[in-house]
Structure 1
Amino acid sequence: MKQVDAMLRSVDGPHILAGGLNALDGTDYSADRWADIVKYYEEIGKPTPKVEVMKYLKGKQYVDAKDFAGECEAVVVVAKGQGKTD
């Protein structure tokens, strides 16, 4: 959040903020799908996906490019072995 806030304060005029931002928006999913995602993160020992960044950006009038992609669900991809600690 600190990095996103610093970027937004440092730019005047229209701009595009691009990247995955390691953030999800719970409103992109049905309640059941979101519960599955949260459960999956718990099972692999990761914290619950953060939604604060997307809420903050939308509050600043940013628009998610996904909103222009038509009918689709945002994708959650976890690389094989990402949760391993050995």
Structure 2
Amino acid sequence: MDYLVMRAFLEAVKAGTDTPIDVYDTAAWMAVTCLSEASVATGGMPVCFPDFTNGKWLIRKPPVESEYSLEYIPNIQIPEDEPHARV
């Protein structure tokens, strides 16, 4: 598990808030390895990917707002007089 994912999870648990990555996304990500192995074992044949949400993925809750979410874009101002700010 990536450091930022683990840190986001631990901070959410400490704060008593929802985690940025829900259990359904976690299950889907973890299934990729097993399903890939099953596909390789059958000569590269397609393997059905389980829907852990029973179709609820079509209508999801808004994402958790945190500094770790993909929707978070910090408002960083770079002073014009800094040399690395020029492109």
TM range (shorter): under 0.3
TM-score (norm 2): 0.27
RCO greater where, 1 or 2, for CA within 8 Å and sep 6 or more? Answer: 1
Please say which structure displays the higher CA radius of gyration. 2
TM-score, normalised via structure 1 length: 0.27
